Structure 1
């Protein structure tokens, strides 16, 4: 059984927040408990603050793996000058390095088909410059994937995504490649599963 943290739990929220929040809370608990107990229960004080310090360390590690805001803005500016085909090729290059095979998708709704064994991903970057993304292009992508029995989808966008589109993407195994993910794919540091 895999352990899954509830989205609204304190530790899940701290993992999504800046690392220094968790470290600050851990240090606050440590200092206050040491002061209140005159350091008689130092082990208990350290034990109480340890979960927050560990969460802070994990969040720090994850945040160091992410591109900086400057890098993200640079990639967005570069991407706006590129065609959808070039964007697809740059993203596909990361998957090809991991053993995927890339081929042009013959049909509407996607640009490339990425294959690794029985896993098939469809990549769509046709509307990546659109200011807003609704549910319709995602439905078109999923419909295209049903014809080839795709197991996952990648949809590239630099604009705003509606809540309905986010929910649809989550329900249908669509990875929304937004600006920060695009930056990691451009610099080749993206984790591919």
Structure 2
């Protein structure tokens, strides 16, 4: 079972921040505990920073494993030169490496079907090179989600801009927009 935390919780913000910020916060908690608490209670106050220390370790691990900006840029340039078959094979390979069963969809807006742990996700990727991404393909993907009883969907936009209405529609209807560095990170896996 996967735990989902609020985007704006302290831990979520720290996970997105540079790793060292968590460690500075732990040091501040320890210093404040030392200054404000009696000696016999200092350790208990300082231990209050332990969960933040753990989050800092997780953030450091993620950031050390993340691809460099140069690799991300190189991958995105490579994606722009790919033909559909090569791109869909790269996506398939990346998701199989993450433990998904991947099936090619035969028609419509859905290009790939991902399955893992009893959940199905639909992927729309054919418009990955489009200059602009509006709401209409997302509506079609959402309709496919409903008719195929999928738990989620992924819309890939390697380049171009996603309109504000499209981004809001995706957010409100459980569709993940996979673009830019996130797409490169998936493919670099």
How does the TM-score come out when normalised to structure 2? 0.78
Shift of 1:109: 1.6
Q: Quick one: structure 1 residues 9 and 75, their matched pair in 2 at CA, closer, same or farther if it must change by over 3 Å?
A: same
Alignment of 1:42-61 (within 5 A): 42-61=42-61
Deviates further, 93-102 or 51-60? 93-102
1:123 aligns to what? Answer: 123
After superposition, the Cα gap between the structure-2 partners of 1:47 and 1:114, relative to the gap in structure 1 and judged at 3 Å, is closer
Moved more, 120-129 or 21-30: 120-129
- 2:133 is matched with 133
Normalising by structure 1, report the TM-score. Answer: 0.76
2-side partners of 1:70 and 1:53: how far apart? Answer: 29
Query: Quick one: distance in 2 between partners of 1:6 and 1:186?
Result: 27
Q: How far, CA to CA, are the matches of 1:114 and 1:173 in structure 2?
A: 15
Taking structure 1 as reference, are residues 2 and 185 closer, same or farther at Cα in structure 2, changes over 3 Å only?
Answer: closer
Deviations 1:19-63 (A, max 9, x none): 111111111232344356696643034223323322211222232
Contact persistence 1:107–1:144 (CA under 8 A): no
Question: What is the aligned length?
Answer: 187
SS in 1 for 2:6: coil
- 8 Å CA contact 1:85, 1:111 repeated in 2: no
Change (3 A) 1:148 1:37: closer
Q: 1:164: which partner in 2?
A: 165
Aligned residue for 1:177, secondary structure, equals: strand
Question: 1:116: Cα distance to partner?
Answer: 6.0
Gaps of 5+ in 2: none
| Gap runs ≥5 in structure 1 | none
Report the Cα distance in structure 2 between the residues aligned to 1:115 and 1:14, rounded to whole angstroms.
31
